[in-house]
Amino acid sequence: MDLHHDLSEMLAAMRTRIKEQYNRVVPTGELLFDRFSKAKELGAGEGSSVYDSALVLGDVSIGDHVWVGPNTVLDGFHAKLSIGNWVAIGAGVCIYTHDSSKHYLSGGKDGSVAAPVSIGNCTMIGTLAIINPGITIGDHCLVGAHCLVNQDVPDGSIVVGVPARVVGRVEISDDGTVDFVWVT
């Protein structure tokens, strides 16, 4: 019995099934572990999923219908990280409740910062965005890809850039459809 050979064949069969069913090729961990089960293990709400490659540390609460993409960091190790309902957190997003920059830059003479982070309901955090400690992102917000969010984001805001700045607003009509209104 060749364990390596058997495991390789099993993984190849799983990759083929996922490729045929969903037209995607995923890392081995994603083949072996169900993202909905991981979310349940973390105490996330109904209908939420957390990719196996997501690093989740400390006190993180995840609401209903939250999608946490691959290769994300949800750091609630130093303070609470709260994620509302109907939130999408894109691939590679890093949300931190601590910052040790001053500690290391001062040779250990200055302290680290630790502060809670809150993400509101019906919000989307774009791929590779970074959320700093102490930030509150409101409801119905769109945070663009590659943003550095270092200040609070009011309800209904669209933010982009490094550092993130408001470039528009999200408007929800009576029938529930969404419009983006851009600042000129």
Provide the H-helix boundaries in the chain: 3-22, 28-32, 35-41, 101-105
Q: Which of 98, 103, 140, 146 is catalytic?
A: 98
CB-CB contact of 142 with 106 (8 Å): no
Alpha carbon 95 to its chain's center: 7
Alpha-carbon gap, residue 166 to 138, rounded angstroms: 13
Task: Assess whether 98 carries a catalytic annotation.
Answer: yes
CA neighbours closer than 13 Å in the CB half-sphere of residue 136: 4
Residues tagged active-site: 98
